[in-house]
Amino acid sequence: MYIHSTHDYADSLSQTLTYEYNFQVSRGNSDDILAIKLFSLFADVASKENLDTTIIELSELYAQSRDEYVDYIDDFTTQIGIQLAIAYIYNNEYKAAKEVLECVVEDNPNAKDAQILLQKIKSILFAKI
């Protein structure tokens, strides 16, 4: 039950974030190369395709976005983190998703979607004990 609910929420959230990101990019609010790369990765998450490769690439981008010396990607840190966590969920890597979401919430306490998803992940992990 917890897993199904979490996957449903992740599906909805991934689709919404991908749509919102596409709208933001179409308004010219980001670097074109980065925008195209992120949109492609977010679309892979939403379609549940190429998850292993997508997780590797999103992990690298998330680490860069959290680096205080890398400014060009800062605006997308929360989105990248949530999409990475969703990719982990789809790949049944719930502990990794939890760790990423904890970082997202720590960095951005106003990230309500991350907080909700984190609670759902904790329910899954607690149920497995």
Question: What is the domain extent for residue 101?
Answer: 2-127
**Would you state the pLDDT for residue 33?**
79
- Domain CATH code at residue 19: 1.25.40
Whole-prediction pTM = 0.79
Give which of 81, 85, 62 is closest to 73, Cα–Cα. 62
**Would you state the pLDDT for residue 123?**
84
Query: Which residue ranges in the chain fall short of pLDDT 70?
Result: 1-7, 9, 13-31, 69-74, 127-129
The string of pLDDT tens digits covering residues 6-43 is 667 677 766 666 655 554 555 555 557 787 888 889 99
Number of domains in the chain: 1
Render the burial of 33-67: b for 16+ CB within 10 Å, e for the rest: eebeebbebbbbbbebebbeebbebbbebbeebbe
